[in-house]
Structure 1
Amino acid sequence: MSAVTPSWLLALHSTSEVLGLGLAPLAPFFQASAQAAQSPRINSHPLGRRLSNDLLACVEQLLPAHQWCELGRLAVATGPGGFTGTRVTVVFARTLAQQLALPLDGFSSFLLIAHRLRQRAEVGDQPFWLLQELPRRGIVAGCYAVDEWALGGIAEREAPRLYGQLDDLPPGARLEARVDPAADVEQLLRLSGLAAVAGSAAPWANVLPLYPTSPVAQP
């Protein structure tokens, strides 16, 4: 019996109330074509607090467990986002990558938004800030800029972190960091595919959830 050739890239995004999943063939990313990622399958599931119970079933709906041996790479959004939702999906992705000996790419949800905004020409060439307000805690913000040397053409100049108030942010354009699960999963697939082409080893142990605020801090 011939060995199964890994052929799929699976992406998971759960930093909002909606679980986003994406599946794309890996081979087209290695072809010299402007349409590298052909016909990805993307599903959105508004699970909310049911994520812990329903995550596995949703993944199996996209790719049954008996076909996981056909996976060649994984990608996951690392946050910032809800503590439980982000943690559950990152842990699942790490476990799957460890057990199947697969590369795992982790990208911040803000970076995915930045790539989406740039692709839709909603931001220009100047650096910009993405903001998410946390009631009674402050503002989570990260800075992004066009960079031809960065993966996908956008660099994360400042990783998302907590600021006390708007006045604490350095100058620059400011936009709301609003998650679009399906569109951001598409960006997750694209960036992971580019990382695969670049030969990134992407060890699973390096991928951790991003928590700008402490999950045990008092409000």
Structure 2
Amino acid sequence: MSTVAPSWLLALHSTSDELGLGLAPLLSSSAPGTLDPPSPRITSHPLGRRLSNDLLACVEQLLPAHQWRELGRLAVATGPGGFTGTRLSVVFARTLAQQLALPLDGFSSFLLIAQRLRQRAEVGDQPFWLLQELPRRGIVAGCYAADEWALGGMAEREAPRLFGQLADLPPGVRLEARVDPAADVAQLLRLSGLAAAAESAAPWASVLPLYPTSPVGQP
């Protein structure tokens, strides 16, 4: 029986103080006549401000650099989240995708949370808002709802943006946008795997950090 080495999907999530990484075989590696694909590997690293120094080392712990040619697709959380952490992982993913000519999927960290809540049956079919308070700046919020036609079954009705205060939000269910790095990396792997199975184009140049406020000019 012929065997085919797996083509890997690498996911990065650093919108919080904890770096989440995931590595999973792409669906093509489980085609008939191939070996059973390995299980996904997910790691988390509470790096905080050490992310800029330790990001590469953490990725190499999961997949050494000499094996990066085995990658078939990349995925990254684009924010909202910490400005520096989000930017570092997005830039790293964009650079790797450009150098290796790989597709790169970018998904909002709020969308990943919404997907997780839906999978765990913590939300129903009705639209809901995810909120993240920024001290002295306002509230970042996005709206989500179950949608059988959307990738992964959850649609982003309104992308995360800044509101001055809670009273400025439209009415509806409101939930805290609480990152769970390992669980949200699992959602990254799932969504990117679905996009790969659907042969969706994913140009790296279109993936940019999502940060509703800029630190420039802020007090």
User: Is the pair's TM-score, using the shorter chain for normalization, greater than 0.5?
Assistant: yes
CA drift at 1:5: 6.2
The runs of 5 or more residues in structure 2 that have no matched partner are none
Contact 2:7/2:29 (<8 A) preserved: no
C-alpha offsets along residues 171-202 of structure 1, whole Å, 9 cap, x if unaligned?
A: 11000000000000000000000000111110
Give the Cα separation in 1 of the matches to 2:191 and 2:210: 18
Alpha carbons 1:30, 1:197 under 8 Å: kept: no
- Counterpart in 2 of 1:51? 51
Unaligned runs of 5+ in 1: none
Counterparts of 1:158 and 1:74, CA distance in 2:
25
| Secondary structure of residue in 2 paired with 1:156 | strand
Q: Deviations over 1:99-128 (max 9, x none)?
A: 000000000000000000000000000000
List structure 1 runs of 4+ shifted beyond 3 angstroms: 28-32
Mapped partners of 1:27, 1:104: distance in 2: 16
* Residue in structure 2 matched with residue 176 of structure 1 by the alignment: 176
Distance 1:159 1:96, change over 3 A: same
When residues 197 and 89 of structure 1 are mapped into structure 2, their CA distance, relative to the original with a 3 A threshold, is same
Aligned to 1:126: 126
The DSSP-based 3-state class of the residue aligned with 1:112 is helix
Residues 27 and 197, structure 2, Cα contact 8 Å, conserved in 1: no
SS, match of residue 21 in structure 2: strand
Q: CA deviation at 1:89?
A: 0.5
Q: Name the amino acid aligned to 2:167.
A: D
Letter of the 1:212 counterpart: P
Q: Distance in 2 between matches of 1:38 and 1:125?
A: 33
Q: Which amino acid aligns with 1:25?
A: P
Q: Distance in 1 between matches of 2:50 and 2:117?
A: 29
The corresponding residue for 1:88 is 88
CA distance in 1 between counterparts of 2:128 and 2:30 reads 31
* Residue number in structure 2 paired with 1:136: 136
Residue identity (%): 88
Matching residue of 1:39? 39
1:95-114 equivalence runs, <5 A: 95-114=95-114
* Structure 1 match to 2:79: 79
Matched letter for residue 179 of structure 1: V
Whole-angstrom distance in 1 between the partners of 2:142 and 2:59: 30
Is residue 2:7 matched to residue 1:11? no
Q: What displacement does 1:31 show?
A: 6.0
Kept in 2, the 8 Å contact 1:44–1:181? The answer is: yes
Per the alignment, residue 165 of structure 2 pairs with 165
Task: State the distance in 2 between where 1:61 and 1:86 align.
Answer: 20
Distance in 2 between the 1:19 and 1:138 partners? 25
Q: Cα distance, 1:27 vs. partner?
A: 2.7
| Structure 1 residue 156 displacement after superposition | 0.3
Partner SS state of residue 199, structure 2:
coil
Tell me the CA shift for residue 215 of structure 1. 2.0
Q: Residue deviations 1:34-80, cap 9 Å, x none?
A: xxx96210000000000000000000000000000000000000000
1:193: which partner in 2?
193
TM-score normalised by length of structure 1: 0.93
TM-score, length-normalised on structure 2?
Answer: 0.93
